[in-house]
Amino acid sequence: MKRLLICGGTVVDPSQGLEGPRDILIEDGKILALAPNLDVSDAETWDAKGLHALPGLIDMHVHFREPGQEHKETYASGTRSAALGGVTSVVPMANTNPIVEKQADLKYASYLAQDQAIVNVFPVAAATVGQKGEELTEYADLKENGAIALSDDGRPIMNGAVMRRVLEYSAMVGLPLLLHEEDTNLSAHGSMHEGYWSTYLGLPGIPPAAEEVMIARDLILADETRGSIHIQHVSTSRAVDLIRIGKSRGIRVTAEATPHHFTLTDEAVRGYRTSAKMNPPLRTARDREAVIEGLRDGTLDLIATDHAPHTRHEKEQEFDLAPFGIIGLETLFPLTYTQLVLAGHLSLSEAIRKLTIEPARVLGLEKGSLRPGADADLTLVDLSLRRVYTEAEIQSKSRNTPFIGTELQGWPVGTIVGGKVVMRERSVVG
């Protein structure tokens, strides 16, 4: 592979405590050198003057609909969407059709990734058979065949005894456990946050307690079993408080926030906008502020999108019938930069940490660094670039996002995966 020199840019790499001008030399898919003013004559050159070079972004919570619902998203379209968003590694959940729960399912996922993907793909396997929360899948076999983590995401594990066994066995094999926390008895038939706007719109609500009681239960079980849990898409103030208390007591818990939960509130549903319908739902301004504070003080370790594609006709149904979920890969960085960094909640380095080395740490991946010898996964961003997100540029097969027409700042303009350029100047080339 030809050598590539990224020169003239500002490197921000929290794994090295580095923020300053550096050139980056890439060879054979690895970072060969990182230093000021590298003198290299036999390499292709990318002039990154005015840009910031970051470790490749990692999104550890996405939904690709292949196999089973290829009309919504495939590995090809999903990873093109990731590339446009500067995301070099994605972690698809297991809730496809069929569900990823056996060796054959993982092998097929691996085949799809090798055949179609233009970014790194690390598959998740189901924690229980059929994601029904009753019988455990074969954890050791799943790990041996490439599963990076376990999750029934989209479906909570309602039975506490089953959850206890899941914690014990996932700890034995060393697979991270990613949890969608929802008491379905409390959330049943709800379609948005239970509060003022659900009453105003006449829509059935989902109370915050539906999320919170499950987090409390699983913190207790993790403490009892000495297992570890990762809590997905935290959305309420009390949920953040519970995780903070759990960490203070030494419970092995990590957690994530999504850009939509630290950007929007339930008022975004006004007008019955199904593009703002997701689970857990958008909540109040107080909850949004608590999520931001959780990111600021480290209670919430990282940022992930919960990228969930759906077709236009599905989302254009009555609000109660429309599916939950929005796409998010392409707006991950500009929303983080605009809402957290420019707003003064996080420094640039802190924000990048939550998009790189923190998800790598939770998943045990050797990613998220630009040290010499590391995989050459890079994201180049123009922090001064302000532009409106348009439907025409979307690479996903789906368009279900409330952020179309929103002006944001700080856009990825280059994505390099394993030394290969897959996006340049806002155009996917992989």
At 229 the pLDDT is 98
Q: Is the pLDDT of residue 26 over 90?
A: yes
CA dist 303 → 57, 261, 362 (Å)? 10, 10, 12
Tell me if 1 sits within 8 A of 27, measured CB to CB: yes
pLDDT tens digits for 30-57? 999 999 999 998 999 999 999 999 999 9
At 2 the pLDDT is 83
Say what angle helices 285-297 and 237-248 make with each other, to 10 degrees.
30
CA dist 381 → 113, 329, 386 (Å)? 26, 15, 12
Quick one: average pLDDT of 382-389?
Answer: 98
Quick one: average pLDDT of 316-345?
Answer: 98
Average pLDDT, the chain: 97
At 99 the pLDDT is 98
pLDDT tens digits for 181-224? 999 999 999 999 999 999 999 999 999 999 999 999 999 999 99
pLDDT tens digits for 248-272? 999 999 999 999 999 999 999 999 9
Judged by phi (left if over 0) then psi (alpha if -120 to 50, else beta), residue 130 lies in: left
Which residues are part of the catalytic machinery? 306
At 41 the pLDDT is 87
At 306 the pLDDT is 98
At 48 the pLDDT is 98
Cα separation of 383 and 365, whole Å? 27
Per-residue confidence at 327, pLDDT binned at 50, 70, 90?
very high
Judged by phi (left if over 0) then psi (alpha if -120 to 50, else beta), residue 191 lies in: alpha
Per-residue confidence at 1, pLDDT binned at 50, 70, 90?
low
Quick one: average pLDDT of 134-153?
Answer: 98
The pair of three-digit structure tokens given for residue 326, joined into one six-digit string: 């929005």
pLDDT tens digits for 271-303? 999 999 999 999 999 999 999 999 999 999 999
Quick one: average pLDDT of 107-128?
Answer: 97
The domains of the chain, with CATH numbers, are: 4-53+375-428 (2.30.40.10), 55-363 (3.20.20.140)
CA dist 218 → 148, 157, 172, 224, 263 (Å)? 21, 10, 17, 10, 27
The pair of three-digit structure tokens given for residue 324, joined into one six-digit string: 């939950």
At 18 the pLDDT is 97
pLDDT tens digits for 316-325? 999 999 999 9
The pair of three-digit structure tokens given for residue 420, joined into one six-digit string: 């290969």
Pairing assessment for the beta strands 407-417 and 378-388 based on DSSP bridges: antiparallel
At 422 the pLDDT is 98
Give the Cα-Cα-Cα angle 308, 146, 108 (nearest 5 degrees).
Answer: 65
At 58 the pLDDT is 99
Cα separation of 266 and 379, whole Å? 32
Closest CA to 305 of 78, 143, 115: 78
At 239 the pLDDT is 98
